[in-house]
Amino acid sequence: MKKINSLKSMFTQSQNWHAEKKTIALVPTMGALHEGHLSLIRSAKNKADKVIVSIFVNPMQFGPNEDYDNYPRTLSEDIKKCRKAGVDVVFSPSVAGMYPDNASTWVNEEVLSQYLCGARRKGHFRGVCTVVLKLFMICSPDIAIFGQKDAQQSIIIKRMVRDLNIPVKIIIAPIKREKDGLAISSRNKYLLPEERKQAAVIYKGLQEIKNWKKNNLSVAQIRRKLIRFIQKEKDIRIDYISIVDINTLSEVSRPNKGDKLLIAIAVFFNKARLIDNIEIKW
């Protein structure tokens, strides 16, 4: 396994693989790798000849009061996990390399990013789209694999690839969960033991939706029940609970039978922000 920091070296390596008729899969990450990331890597290895894992804590997708400075950075451990998983290259560029002085070019998705996390984290998806496009240009992957936990991000990246005619196939892998259902996340490390126990209510609430739907409750009724269910835990603060159309990410009130909906949740435990979601057919 190689560890590459230089953008030029990474591009050259990718072009050499393409010259050898090798297919390339990219798994973009911000490090602090966990089982969720490793499941993406396993999927990548099944779908391509060569696997690149990028590790880059992207400052441009963090707001001024968010956790960029405290975001977990465990590069040496991440490299060990990648080597054990059979990754071919860990690409770990510097901030200065990815964002030259006086950088003034950005990638904006202007519709899907107005909802859910985008409505609360202004500029977040501009940072996401910009860094992902940069990684695509540098690593030249045939395939890129993202996780369903970040559902809005995945949908926006798919839209960017479609709109900008980027020749990369986007694959969305299922959410990996702890035994109690909590979505595995790097930010789970921020939780105190009691908060960690309470966090299990997020997925439990999402699972309850299937029972509430059988009782022919409306979207508004389901949302209210979900809010009450989650608010039973004393340390949890709801950022949003939204039921949206899977294609437009806009809120729905009266979906048609057969419509695909995304139920998305974001909550806080103190400053730790956790997200989760499920898809359902109405």
For residues 242 and 214, is the Cβ–Cβ distance under 8 A? no
Q: Is 185 exposed, middle or buried (0-12, 13-18, 19+ CB in 10 A)?
A: buried
Q: Supply the pTM of this predicted model.
A: 0.96
- Residue 112 pLDDT: 98
Which residues have a Cβ under 8 Å from the Cβ of 235 and sit 6 or more positions away? Answer: 194, 195, 198, 269, 270
- Residue 214 pLDDT: 86
Instruction: Indicate the length of the chain as a whole number.
Output: 282
Which residues have a Cβ under 8 Å from the Cβ of 59 and sit 6 or more positions away? Answer: 68, 95, 99, 127
Q: How far is CA 45 from the centre of its chain?
A: 19
The residue-averaged pLDDT of 119-130 equals: 97
Looking at the domain that runs over 2-173, which CATH code has it been given? 3.40.50.620
**Residue 18 annotated in active site:** no
For residues 38 and 81, is the Cβ–Cβ distance under 8 A? yes
- Residue 215 pLDDT: 87
Quick: pLDDT tens for 210-256: 889 888 899 999 999 999 999 999 999 999 999 999 999 999 999 99
Mean pLDDT, the chain, whole residue set: 97
Distances in Å between the alpha carbon of 166 and those of 47, 133, 160, 193? 19, 9, 8, 44
State the catalytic residue, choosing from 18, 34, 37, 124: 37
Would you say domain 186-275 falls under CATH 3.30.1300.10?
Answer: yes
For residues 40 and 145, is the Cβ–Cβ distance under 8 A? yes
- What whole-number distance in Å separates Cα of residue 204 and Cα of residue 119? 25
What are the sequence ranges of the domains in the chain?
2-173, 186-275
Find the angle CA(230)-CA(231)-CA(233) to the nearest 5 degrees: 85
The dihedral sign for the CA sequence 272, 249, 143, 93:
negative
